[in-house]
């Protein structure tokens, strides 16, 4: 199926680990018929967490792409890691989406991961939504989390969905529709009488928030009413300019609210900027190598990408002819003929790195590079078997094509190979991949410090401070001794 730019929605799921990101992606795939059975993170059978290390650790290690088709839209879901060690993947995903959805569970509220996600999106100028997850959990409190969001982020926070009071589903405040879920299947029903007053109250607040244009504001002040379509227009405009932050909710494992969330994404998330008429240009935001080959994930920034097209890699100063193009969902590949402006496509067997710009050879342009935070964790890495240093260095060089957030340096002074990244989990995962992909076992040790100066002899110093100017006065007697260890 082919899409136009206006029907593309690129979003990323962000937030703390175990906040429900992968589960919602799984629920979306199930709801749209892409899979016939929902997997669980704890069972190691979800579409997005398919890497052996992800299954073993039960966490998302690398951003996974899961395209879903709903309501005439192609929604490219980027399921990002929640652990700070893998922030590189999060920052790369932010570069290619039009909206980031931040997860807060109804039980845990606003976590450090959610706060950081907000800061990343704000710094990048990317619109944000909040998803309050796990509304069916014991001790979960949707309204407490909503209140905390309003207190922390202000009047821009705008709920467009609320849970049904009986826990059977969610209510879409914009369209005054309830989505009731039984046995994993969802149906639209009338709003229960027990929720009618709450819906009326919150819908009034919603209409006020949606009146972002002068025309909508005038109508709302005159009539105290906006139509459903006018609310949608206002919310979409407000989200695009970051003056409105829609809040949705659900319980993904029970498939509660997922259909309503999909509809909200189609309605409010802005489509990519349409530059279809301009020369082709793309940004490589993710690279994956496995036993079946290497895939580079590209966001089409302008023009369109077709099979057998020649593209210029600006970093490498090389022109490459493309082979097959793919849409990839988790680890499942589907061949496609082209990708329109704004869409995401995977290209096989290219020597591209994450962060590369590829473009029309006759119209060379380089997009801003990915900016990664400085590494804050370093260890000396070496092979367990002597003589395999080149194998370690070569394997890490290949892994660096996928994850550009870590560095590898051969320290000539300490004679150690030093790997630096965002944390110990990231480095441990890299070591595990060296073993599984390249057949080399490694060991880690603290990196030695290259001391450039040292004390050769013993020295002592003595100082005395005395000051009397009325009152109690001041007196100090200090001895200092320096000597070699």
Q: What is the pLDDT of residue 484?
A: 84
Instruction: Name the nearest CA neighbour of 85 among 108, 107, 54, 118.
Output: 54
- From the number of C-beta atoms within 10 Å of its C-beta (0-12, 13-18, 19+), residue 390 rates as exposed
Q: What is the pLDDT of residue 455?
A: 82
Distance CA 355, CA 468 (A): 65
Q: What is the mean pLDDT of residues 39-47?
A: 93
Report the SS3 class of residue 350. coil
pLDDT at 131 over 70: yes
Do residues 282 and 310 make contact, with C-beta atoms less than 8 angstroms apart?
no
Q: CA Rg, the chain, in Å?
A: 27
Domain 281-359 has CATH 3.55.50.30: no
pLDDT at 303 over 90: yes
Q: What is the pLDDT of residue 477?
A: 92
Sequence-ordered strand ranges (E) for 71-218: 73-79, 99-105, 128-133, 157-159, 161-163, 169-172, 177-182, 185-189
Distance CA 280, CA 228 (A): 38
Q: What is the pLDDT of residue 366?
A: 95
Q: How many CB atoms lie within 10 A of CB 67?
A: 23
State how far the alpha carbon of 346 is from the alpha carbons of 178, 262, 366, 406, 423, in Å. 38, 24, 20, 23, 29
Q: What is the pLDDT of residue 309?
A: 95
Distance CA 23, CA 431 (A): 27
Percent of the chain past pLDDT 90, that is, above it, reads 86
**Residue 2 binned pLDDT confidence (cut-offs 50, 70, 90):** confident
pLDDT at 217 over 70: yes
Question: 12-34 pLDDT, tens per residue?
Answer: 999 999 999 999 999 999 999 99
CATH topology of domain 5-268: Rossmann fold (3.40.50)
Distance CA 103, CA 82 (A): 10
- Listed in sequence order, the residues at least 6 apart from 193 whose beta carbon sits closer than 8 Å to its beta carbon are none
Strand order in the sheet with 442-445: 407-411, 416-421, 377-383, 442-445
Distance CA 198, CA 208 (A): 16
Question: 373-387 pLDDT, tens per residue?
Answer: 999 999 999 999 999
Question: 418-450 pLDDT, tens per residue?
Answer: 999 999 999 999 999 999 999 999 999 999 988
Instruction: Name the nearest CA neighbour of 342 among 301, 297, 306, 281.
Output: 301
Q: Rounded to the nearest 5°, which phi and psi values hold at 437?
A: -95, -35
258-268 and 21-31 helices cross at what angle (nearest 10)?
A: 90
- Domain 281-359 and domain 377-446, same fold? Reply is no
State how far the alpha carbon of 317 is from the alpha carbons of 49, 322, 366, 370, 483, in Å. 35, 16, 11, 18, 55
CATH topology of domain 377-446: Alpha-Beta Plaits (3.30.70)
Distance CA 275, CA 343 (A): 12
Q: What is the pLDDT of residue 352?
A: 93
Q: How many CB atoms lie within 10 A of CB 201?
A: 10
Question: 188-216 pLDDT, tens per residue?
Answer: 999 999 999 999 999 999 999 999 999 99
Q: What is the mean pLDDT of residues 53-73?
A: 94
Question: 315-366 pLDDT, tens per residue?
Answer: 999 999 998 999 999 889 999 999 999 999 999 989 899 999 999 999 999 9
Pairing between β-strand 377-383 and β-strand 442-445 as defined by DSSP bridges? antiparallel
Do residues 358 and 314 make contact, with C-beta atoms less than 8 angstroms apart?
yes
Strand order in the sheet with 99-105: 64-70, 73-79, 8-15, 99-105, 128-133, 245-249, 157-159
Do residues 465 and 472 make contact, with C-beta atoms less than 8 angstroms apart?
no
Map out the domains of the chain as residue ranges: 5-268, 281-359, 377-446
DSSP letter, residue 140: -
Q: What is the pLDDT of residue 291?
A: 61
Q: What is the pLDDT of residue 281?
A: 98
Q: What is the pLDDT of residue 9?
A: 98
Distance CA 100, CA 206 (A): 21
Pairing between β-strand 73-79 and β-strand 8-15 as defined by DSSP bridges? parallel
Q: What is the pLDDT of residue 74?
A: 98
- Give the residue carrying structure tokens 């996600």: 117
Give the mean pLDDT of the chain. Answer: 94
- Listed in sequence order, the residues at least 6 apart from 254 whose beta carbon sits closer than 8 Å to its beta carbon are 136, 181, 184
Instruction: Name the nearest CA neighbour of 11 among 71, 63, 87, 83.
Output: 63
Question: 244-284 pLDDT, tens per residue?
Answer: 999 999 999 999 999 999 999 999 999 999 999 999 999 99
Question: 159-184 pLDDT, tens per residue?
Answer: 999 999 988 899 999 999 999 998 88
- From the number of C-beta atoms within 10 Å of its C-beta (0-12, 13-18, 19+), residue 268 rates as buried
Q: What is the pLDDT of residue 1?
A: 67
Q: What is the pLDDT of residue 292?
A: 64
């Amino acid at each position: 199926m082919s899409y136009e730019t206006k029907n593309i929605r690129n979003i990323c799921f962000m937030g703390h680990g175990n906040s429900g990101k992968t589960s919602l992606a799984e629920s979306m795939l199930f709801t749209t018929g892409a899979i016939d059975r929902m997997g669980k993170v704890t069972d190691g059978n979800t579409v997005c967490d398919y890497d052996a290390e992800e299954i073993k650790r039960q966490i998302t290690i690398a951003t996974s792409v899961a395209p879903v088709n709903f309501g005439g839209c192609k929604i490219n879901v980027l399921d990002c890691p929640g652990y700070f060690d893998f922030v590189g993947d999060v920052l790369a995903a932010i570069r290619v989406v039009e909206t980031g959805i931040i997860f807060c569970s109804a039980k845990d509220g606003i976590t450090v991961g959610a706060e950081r996600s907000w800061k990343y999106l704000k710094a990048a100028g990317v619109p944000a939504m909040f998803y309050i997850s796990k509304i069916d959990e014991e001790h979960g409190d949707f309204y407490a989390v909503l209140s905390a969001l309003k207190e922390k982020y202000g009047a821009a926070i705008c709920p467009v969905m609320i849970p049904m009071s009986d826990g059977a589903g969610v209510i879409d405040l914009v369209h005054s529709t309830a989505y009731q879920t039984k046995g994993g299947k969802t149906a639209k029903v009338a709003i229960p009488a027990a929720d009618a007053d709450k819906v009326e109250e919150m819908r009034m607040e919603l209409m006020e928030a949606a009146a972002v244009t002068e025309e909508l504001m005038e109508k709302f002040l005159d009539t105290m009413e906006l139509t459903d379509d006018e609310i949608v227009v206002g919310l979409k405009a407000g989200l695009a300019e970051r003056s409105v932050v829609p809040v949705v909710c659900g319980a993904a494992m029970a498939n509660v609210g997922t259909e309503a969330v999909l509809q909200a994404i189609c309605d409010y998330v802005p489509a990519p900027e349409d530059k279809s008429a301009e020369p082709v240009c793309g940004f490589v935001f993710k690279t994956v190598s496995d036993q079946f080959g290497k895939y580079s994930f590209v966001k089409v920034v302008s023009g369109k990408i077709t099979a057998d097209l020649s593209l210029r890699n600006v970093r490498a100063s090389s022109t490459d002819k493309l082979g097959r193009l793919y849409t990839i969902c988790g680890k499942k590949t589907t061949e496609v003929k082209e990708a329109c402006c704004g869409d995401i496509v995977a290209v096989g067997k290219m020597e591209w790195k994450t962060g590369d710009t590829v473009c029309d050879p006759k119209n060379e342009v380089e997009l801003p590079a990915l900016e990664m935070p400085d590494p804050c964790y370093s260890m000396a890495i070496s092979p367990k078997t002597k003589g395999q240093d080149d194998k370690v260095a070569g394997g890490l060089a290949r892994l660096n094509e996928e994850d550009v957030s870590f560095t590898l340096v051969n320290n000539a002074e300490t004679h150690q190979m030093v790997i630096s990244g965002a944390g110990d989990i990231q480095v441990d995962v890299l070591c595990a991949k060296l073993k599984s992909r390249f057949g080399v076992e490694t060991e880690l040790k603290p990196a030695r410090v290259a001391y450039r100066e040292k004390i050769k002899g013993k020295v002592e110093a003595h100082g005395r401070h005395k000051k009397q100017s009325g009152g109690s006065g001041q007196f100090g007697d200090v001895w200092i001794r320096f000597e070699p260890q």
